[in-house]
Structure 1
Amino acid sequence: MTTITWRKSSYCQEGEACVHISTGPDGVHITDSDPARTVVTVSRDAFAALLKSL
């Protein structure tokens, strides 16, 4: 079983809702500080397109 290592957004301040991102062989995992910790996994290409559009 692979352990996911999360990186917190550099724009996050203490106590705020934050975006967390992790990469793996199956794509890019995205979640936030919500206690439910719902994880969305997208392809690297889809994530790159999202960043380009922002």
Structure 2
Amino acid sequence: MGKVELMGHLDSTASFTFYYPTPDLFFVGDVNQMAKPALPARLVMQLASSIRL
């Protein structure tokens, strides 16, 4: 994936809040599960990388 700069927070309950400064976007959500703790980070990185600037 391409290099993406994000600022934000992952919570222990799989909720997340991230800011993507280049296109001025916020990613806020919850994947509602705790079995796969890396899922929110991978989801946000995939979403941010898919945005065409």
Asked if TM exceeds 0.5, the reply is: no
Quickly name the TM-score band, shorter chain normalised: 0.3 to 0.5
Which of the two has higher C-alpha Rg? 1
Structure with larger RCO (C-alpha < 8 A, sep 6+): 2
